[in-house]
Structure 1
């Protein structure tokens, strides 16, 4: 079953140091000034932090789920995800992964331990 923007917001808002902002009609999540998660205005797509080196492989493997960011955003560790093709477990992996890339390693590790991932 596809996930909703509200489900993603619920998870993202629980992550340490993460906070929600509304910028130019779009919901975004930040850690400090780093945007690590954002939604399209219509809520159909989520952009999130993602390793550049795996981005093209993800798009090639699942083009119904993933797409590349705009040309100007290709310099960032970023990918677009179509929510209609995303389930809850995948969403959790992507959201927690994106968040963990922009916080100090000790904080990501503490969170992983608390969640029982490590």
Structure 2
């Protein structure tokens, strides 16, 4: 079985979302209609973390970090705005959960018409 690198798995998840883009070299930026909803970060500013920074609903950042502080964290720069960081380099990655977190972040930024496509 071929192991798909985390960067590619994340890009594949984003590619399934209507009108979402995923661009970048080392780091990836996820956007829908020019509204950013997440980042794939690999050793961002030398922090040693392979992870995601995702837009989160009010209160979600705190709830996730409290639920598992080893995997979830307050990302630099965006954490003050409620975004949540999730590590992809700690333990076994639950890709279904990652898909859900990315999709939730997308829903917060996407127009209603595109969100409806997910629910339809």
Fold conserved (TM > 0.5)? Answer: yes
Match of 1:53 among 45, 48, 59: 59
- The verdict on how the C-alpha distance between 1:51 and 1:8 changes in structure 2, with shifts beyond 3 A counting, is same
The aligned counterpart of 2:7 is 5
The corresponding residue for 1:27 is 28
2:119 to 107, 112, 115: 112
Q: Secondary structure at the match of 2:99?
A: helix
The size of the alignment, in residue pairs, is 109
Higher relative contact order (CA closer than 8 Å, sequence separation 6+): 1
C-alpha separation between the residues in 2 aligned to 1:48 and 1:111? 18
Q: What's the counterpart of residue 81 of structure 1?
A: 86
How far has the Cα of 1:74 moved from its partner?
3.1
Gap runs ≥5 in structure 1: 114-118
Please, what TM-score do these two structures have when normalized by structure 1? 0.79
Q: CA RMSD in A?
A: 2.1
Distance 2:51 2:59 in 1: 21
Which runs of no fewer than 5 residues in structure 2 stay unpaired? Answer: 44-48
Moved over 6 A (4+): none
Alpha-carbon contact 2:38-2:105 (below 8 Å) kept: yes
Cα distance in 1 between the residues matched to 2:42 and 2:59? 27
> In the alignment, is the contact (CA less than 8 A) between 2:51 and 2:88 conserved in 1?
yes
